[in-house]
Each structure stands twice: as structure tokens, then as C-alpha cells.
Amino acid sequence: MNWKSYQKYFKGKKILITGNSGFVGSYVSLTLSLLGSKILGYSLKKKDNKYLSNFPEYRRRIKTINDDIKNIESYRSTLIRFKPEILIHLASQPLVSQSYIQTKNSYETNVMGTVKLFEVAKNLSSLKNIVIFTSDKVYKNLDNNNLNENSPLGGEDPYSASKSAQDLISNSYKLSFFKKKKNVFLIRAGNIIGGGDWEKTRLIPDLFLSNFKKKNIYLRNPNATRPWQHILDVVEGILKVILVKGKKVSEKSLIYNIGPKSNKDIKVKLLIKKFIDNSNLIKIKFRFKNIHFKEKKFLRLSSKFIKKDINWQSKLRIEDAIQLTTKWYYEFFKNRKNIFNFTTYQIKVFFNK
């Protein structure tokens, strides 16, 4: 499927996107806006001006209500007037580390935020397709297992538990209230890399920010294995689920893992080594650091079902993902004014591959 086929489906569609000021949300929103959809965003504003969502070109294209998801019910009439056909829910407190510090807020945002959003969705008769973006961390992680959509849920740290709850609650709304009226798609994604993430405690932003400051990077979990994938593959996964499955209402929630094609185990330290070896512009070294909170050592996701059901699989090998990401951050540090156009260019090249 290429740009034109997505354009044919998404052009003119009204789409409500929560969490559109963040890393994943800005790519999803920008891609859909370039395809001709009419977007209404709902997010807290990112304080860091480096986020794409704070660029004037982005703000001109994508109208956003800047407020807390916990207040979404006070925008009920605005959202009814907007008449969204599709809702993509990305707003979450997305960090394991932060969830140990701001535990209550993480639950309120990720769990009650989702409940309130569904309560509003009950009044949106225009709405036919709802995407809830959760995580591979929703699973009860039996180390070394290849997690598929039927693996038991049971996140342990507060972030993972909140995403497991988000997943269960969404399924409950589908079965209890939307059976014949709306689709609920649960998308569980592995770790995402790509340009435009500025969350300092994450590996790739930390790498490029450290390199910019000419400081070595400290890896807190060097032997952890994750299903790394590029943001553009993830965006295409979300779009393809809606396009292929959104034309008729299924009786149950449809659940899809989204992960990399190759299930080779890539440890944190190997990923960073690949980034450093790939570019002579990265001149720093990596060191190890102890952490004081628990994170899973091993996460391996099976994306066989989504391949079988809608024929989606990641297009990019890890080497391509590394190259696209490196080019993006270099463009940003070299010529920040051009980054919006550069991101648009990367999106279009990817979709026409």
C-alpha cells in the first residue's frame, strides 16, 4: 500500500487525536494531515520547544486543545460539534521511571483519562473507529517468551500496570457499550525510535543530546532486550489497521501487536553501539550506570497476527531505522528551521517505498 491508497481513504476524514503534542502523536497527526485528514488534537502542551508540535508549521496545520485528559468531559460539546469519525488515543504518562515517582498521577492519566474519554465517546455518534495505543508492557512478562495477543496481561511496575488497565478497560467499553456501533482497536507496540523524541530519560534522545553536549552516555539497563522499531513503521501500522478493519464494525475488540519484523534480540548496549558505529558524527562513548527502579530485562513481541490478518509488517530493518533517526537528529542540530520540511520529506519517502 502506498501514499495514494492511504490518501484515498483518509482524505477529508475527521480525526480526534489525544497526545498529539508528543513524539508518537506528532508523527501520527502530521502524516494524517498530509494525507488530507482534518485533525483535532487534545494534549498537554510540551514544554520543550524542540518538539515538532511546538513548531509554527505544525501549529498552523493541526488545531489542538491544550488541556489535561482528565478534563476531557468539559469539552464534550466541542467534540460533538467536531463530529470525529476516528479517535486515536495516545495521551498517557508514558515513562516507567516517572510512574514510580508520580504514581497516582500516572494512574489518573492513563486509567481515569481513558475512562473519561470513553464516556465522551458514548456521545459521539459520528465516531466509528477508536484506536487505543497501549504497549508491549501490558503483558505479564514471562521472561524469554515470545508475547502474542493471547498472552496474559499483567504489567508490574506502575506504568505497565496502568497500560494493562487501559487495555482491559477499553475492551470492556467495546463489549459493554459499542458492540454494534464502534470498533475498538487495541494496538500494543514495542519500543519506538525515530527523530523528534526529546524525552531525556529515553535512550535515543539521550544519545543525541549527550553527543551534542559532547558528554558520554550512561546506559542504565545495558543488557535489556527490546523490540526496537521505527516510528514510521508504527504510524503505518496504525493507519493500516483503521483502513483495512474500519469499514465494518467487528463484534469484539481487535487486538494487534506491532513490533519489528526480525526478532533478533537487540540489547540496549548493542543498539547504541550500532548507532555509534553507523555515524562518524557521533563521537561520544557509552558507560554503564546503576538504576534504582525495576525494569523488565527481556521483551520479545510476536507480530505474526497483524501480518496474517491485515498484511502489515515493518518495512524498515534496524539499520534503516538507525539511519533515518540519525539523519533526523543531525538535520535538527544543523538546520532546525528546516526540520518540519525534513520530517515531511522522511514521511513521504517512507510511504512511497
Ligand X SMILES: NC(=O)c1ccc[n+]([C@@H]2O[C@H](COP(=O)([O-])OP(=O)(O)OC[C@H]3O[C@@H](n4cnc5c(N)ncnc54)[C@H](O)[C@@H]3O)[C@@H](O)[C@H]2O)c1
Binding site residues, ligand X, CB under 6 A: 19-25, 43-44, 46, 68-69, 90-94, 109, 113, 133, 135, 163, 189, 191-192, 199
The span from the CA of 181 to the CA of 23, in Å, is 31
Written as nine digits, the cell of 94 is 508514558
Decide whether 43 or 164 has the Cβ nearer to ligand X.
43
Decide whether 47 or 248 has the Cβ nearer to ligand X.
47
Decide whether 282 or 299 has the Cβ nearer to ligand X.
299
Q: Which residue is nearest to ligand X (CB)?
A: 22
In terms of DSSP bridges, do strands 38-43 and 63-66 run parallel, antiparallel, or are they unpaired? Answer: parallel
In terms of DSSP bridges, do strands 286-288 and 254-258 run parallel, antiparallel, or are they unpaired? Answer: unpaired
The nearest distance, CB 147 to ligand X, in angstroms, is 13
Decide whether 112 or 249 has the Cβ nearer to ligand X.
112
Query: Helix or strand or coil: residue 215?
Result: coil
The nearest distance, CB 102 to ligand X, in angstroms, is 10
The nearest distance, CB 54 to ligand X, in angstroms, is 11
Identify which of 14, 8, 7, 13 has the alpha carbon closest to the alpha carbon of residue 35.
7
Query: Helix or strand or coil: residue 186?
Result: strand
The nearest distance, CB 5 to ligand X, in angstroms, is 25
- HSE at residue 239, side-chain half, CA atoms within 13 A, is 32
The nearest distance, CB 42 to ligand X, in angstroms, is 7
Decide whether 7 or 199 has the Cβ nearer to ligand X.
199
Helix 231-245 and helix 23-34: axis angle, to 10°? Answer: 60
The span from the CA of 124 to the CA of 48, in Å, is 33
The nearest distance, CB 180 to ligand X, in angstroms, is 27
**Helix (H) or strand (E) segment spanning residue 99:** helix 96-101
Decide whether 90 or 282 has the Cβ nearer to ligand X.
90
Question: Which amino acid belongs to residue 321?
Answer: A
